[in-house]
Amino acid sequence: MSPTAALPTFDLTATTSHWAEGGGIEVLPRIFEDAINLAVLRRPLPHDLLAGALAQTRAERPLAFSWRGAPDDGLRAALLESVHCPGASGPLVEDVVTLADAMACLFDTDEVGVRLRRMDAPMCPRFHCDNLPVRLVTTYLGPGSEWLPETAVNRAGLGAPTPGKPDIVREEGAIRRLEAGDVALLKGSGWVGNEARGLVHRSPAVGPDQQRLLLTIDPA
């Protein structure tokens, strides 16, 4: 499957300081630029994909899919066995496989780690940066991940909270949020040359009647 099969192009790429965003897949390889630690593909989600995502939030049992391997028919079969209402979830499954394939191609790896989960509460509510090279994040339903421009970060506040540690956020109004459907590559502190510049981000607050359907993909 082509990694661009379900990733449409809508507009030109924009760069602001250390992040890049745009409506075409060409924005994602910009994560390899030294100055960039966030690349965001803005995309609307089609109705059939949203229907499959909604099916995962309406089931009584939470979806918690975790898988590692080649982004091929094995991943597709494992997803179809795990998702709720597989008959209505084909477009969702295909989108996950396409993104996994794109991730493997972009980072020249045979395997990827995939997690698709329904979230009823924030997984990482405190601002932090990941100790890994890079991660793909997309939210199908619910609020997207929140992140900070570098100018709004006090890195001395990162890590476990302790007495006297300063606040991480310098400017509350500077907090940014990814939108549902956005495909984001987050460069972490495990990326060689980016050890002190991992993107600072967190899980958003989830309301009492709100759920998230979150996909993360790591190159293995």
Q: Spell out the residues 6+ positions from residue 43 whose beta carbon is closer than 8 angstroms to its own.
A: 7, 8, 10, 23, 181, 182, 183
pLDDT tens, residue order, the chain (220 aa): 444 444 544 334 455 689 999 999 999 999 999 999 999 999 999 999 999 999 998 888 889 999 999 999 999 999 999 999 999 999 999 999 999 999 999 999 999 999 999 988 667 789 999 999 999 999 999 999 999 999 999 999 999 889 989 999 998 899 999 999 999 999 999 999 999 999 999 999 887 778 899 999 999 8
Whether residue 119 contacts residue 64, with contact meaning beta carbons closer than 8 Å, is answered with no
* Domain spanning 18-219: CATH 1.10.1660: no
Residue 139 host element (H or E): strand 134-141
Q: Are strands 201-202 and 176-177 parallel, antiparallel or unpaired?
A: unpaired
